[in-house]
């Protein structure tokens, strides 16, 4: 029981430290690498929540795909922003104040809700959860429609990214 | 056992760090990293509420899948836009790309 809490606290410290470094380190490539550490910590939290499927998805989609995509983008735009220049705009102090206020308000609201402290954790998760999840995603009475909409969203994003990202050679030749 | 409030406070902190990153970073890719932090905090929240309140149904998990899908689409299109901007304007700083500003 207490082991859970120790693991959670260590993971939380790692995640928050890595997240703060993501938004504060001057070198973009370092920020991307710290983002990977934060995402890995969140995968550990998913394991603690007994959602192993999402821990795996987190590692594959976020660490495997999104982080690599970000690192590629950082390396392709290396020359644009010198790493020794200012990385924060002139609103950074205001932004920090707003974020701290937002955190204070959110925490105050969450902790004033009785359920946050008293809600008992449900007994062990049904091991068939993954089966139920897969069946509900293909069940017309379940979540088939959102599932298909999500796949169309991914297809649209794929087409859009390819169209936006390619070099328009034809246009350049006309100039 | 871990109280639900620990997860909620952690994800609130992550959201606030992400908001700070989105508002204050000059590099457009760094702003996207802030959005990623916010979306991950949302995922923690969704799965925590699923675990503590509605573990019988899979609704919370389906919502998490949708958030991950939207995040993947957003990152792909966002990075493509930034690389196209970089190719045309040789800059990646968000304040230099203000052509649509009225």
* DSSP helix/strand/coil, B58: coil
Look at residues A46, A34, A62, A94 and name the one whose alpha carbon lies nearest to residue B10. Answer: A46
Which pLDDT band holds residue B45 (cuts at 50, 70, 90)?
Answer: very high
Query: Distance (Å, rounded) from C-alpha A84 to C-alpha A27?
Result: 8
Beta pairing partners, A88: B25
Name the class of domain A1-82.
Answer: mainly alpha
CB contact under 8 A, B20 and A51: no
In chain B, how many domains are there?
A: 1
CB contact under 8 A, A88 and B76: no
Which pLDDT band holds residue A175 (cuts at 50, 70, 90)?
Answer: very low
Domain-embedded: residue B59: yes
Q: Residue B55: give the domain boundaries.
A: 4-97
pLDDT tens per residue, range A138-151: 988 889 999 999 99
CATH number for the domain harbouring residue B74: 1.10.287.3510
Which pLDDT band holds residue A84 (cuts at 50, 70, 90)?
Answer: low
Question: What is the DSSP-derived secondary structure letter of residue A11?
Answer: H
Place of tokens 């299109």: B77
CB contact under 8 A, B37 and A35: yes
Interface test with B, best of A56, A129, A164 (most B CBs within 10 A): A164
ipTM of the complex: 0.91
What integer pLDDT is reported at residue B56 of this predicted model?
81
Domain-embedded: residue B17: yes
Q: Chain B contact for A86, CB < 8 A?
A: yes
Residues 6+ apart with CB under 8 A from A7: A44, A48
Chain B residues touching residue A70 (CB < 8 angstroms): 29, 32-33, 75, 79
State the average pLDDT over residues A20-24.
92
**A166 and B88 in contact (C-beta within 8 Å)?**
no
Q: Chain B contact for A116, CB < 8 A?
A: yes
What integer pLDDT is reported at residue A174 of this predicted model?
44
Domain-embedded: residue B102: no
CB contact under 8 A, B9 and A110: yes
pLDDT tens per residue, range A29-73: 999 999 999 999 999 999 999 888 999 999 999 999 999 999 999
pLDDT at A83 over 70: no
Minimum-distance CB partner of B9 among A4, A61, A107: A107
| Cα A134 from chain centre | 22
State the average pLDDT over residues A120-141.
82
Distance in angstroms between the alpha carbons of the first and the last residue of chain A: 69
Domain regions of chain A by residue span: 1-82, 127-175
- Closest residue in A to B54 (Cα) is A122
CB contact under 8 A, B47 and A81: no
**B25 and A87 in contact (C-beta within 8 Å)?**
yes
CB contact under 8 A, A164 and B9: no
DSSP string, A64-113: IIIHHHHHHHHHHTTTTS-TTS--B-TTHHHHHHHHHHHHHHHHHHHHHS
Chain A residues touching residue B81 (CB < 8 angstroms): 164
Query: Distance (Å, rounded) from C-alpha A108 to C-alpha A99?
Result: 14
Between A75 and A126, whose confidence is greater? A75
CB contact under 8 A, B72 and A117: no
Phi/psi region, residue A124 (left: phi>0; alpha: psi -120 to 50; beta: rest), is: beta
pLDDT tens per residue, range A153-174: 999 999 999 998 887 765 555 4
Query: Distance (Å, rounded) from C-alpha A15 to C-alpha B17?
Result: 11
CB contact under 8 A, A81 and B92: yes
Continuous segment of H or E residues that includes residue A152:
helix A144-165
- Global confidence as pTM: 0.89
Residues 43..62 of A with a Cβ closer than 8 Å to B: which? 45-46, 48-51, 53-54, 57-58, 61-62
**B58 and A132 in contact (C-beta within 8 Å)?**
yes
Can you list the pairs that B93-100 forms with residues at least 24 positions away whose Cβ atoms lie under 8 Å? B93/A80, B93/A81, B93/B26, B93/B27, B93/B28, B94/A89, B94/B25, B94/B26, B94/B27, B94/B28, B94/B31, B95/A89, B95/B26, B97/B28
Half-sphere exposure of B62 (CA within 13 A, CB side): 23
Domain-embedded: residue B50: yes
State the average pLDDT over residues B3-13.
92
Beta pairing partners, B27: B93
């Amino acid at each position: 029981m207490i082991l859970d809490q120790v693991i959670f606290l260590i993971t939380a410290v790692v995640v928050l430290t890595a997240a703060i470094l993501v938004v504060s380190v001057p070198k973009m490539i370092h920020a991307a690498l710290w983002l990977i550490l934060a995402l890995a910590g969140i995968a550990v939290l998913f394991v603690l929540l007994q959602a192993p499927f999402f821990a795996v998805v987190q590692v594959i989609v976020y660490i495997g795909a999104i982080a690599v995509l970000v690192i590629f983008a950082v390396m392709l735009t290396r020359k644009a922003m010198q790493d020794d220049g200012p990385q924060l705009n002139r609103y950074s102090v205001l932004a920090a104040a707003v974020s701290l206020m937002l955190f204070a308000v959110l925490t105050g609201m969450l902790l004033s809700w009785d359920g946050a402290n008293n809600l008992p954790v449900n007994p062990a998760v049904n091991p068939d959860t993954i089966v139920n999840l897969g069946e509900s995603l293909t069940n017309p009475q379940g979540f088939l429609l959102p599932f298909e909409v999500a796949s169309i969203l991914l297809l649209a994003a794929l087409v859009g990214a390819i169209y936006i990202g390619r070099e328009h050679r034809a246009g350049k030749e006309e100039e | 056992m871990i109280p639900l409030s620990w997860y909620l406070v952690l994800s609130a902190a992550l959201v606030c760090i992400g908001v700070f990153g989105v508002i204050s970073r000059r590099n457009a890719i760094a702003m996207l990293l802030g959005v990623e932090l916010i979306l991950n905090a949302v995922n923690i929240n969704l799965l925590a509420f699923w675990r503590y309140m509605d573990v019988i149904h899979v609704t919370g998990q389906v919502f998490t899948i949708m958030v991950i899908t939207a995040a993947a689409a957003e990152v792909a299109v966002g990075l493509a836009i930034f690389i196209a901007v970089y190719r045309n304007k040789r800059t990646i700083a968000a304040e230099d790309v203000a052509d649509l500003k009225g």
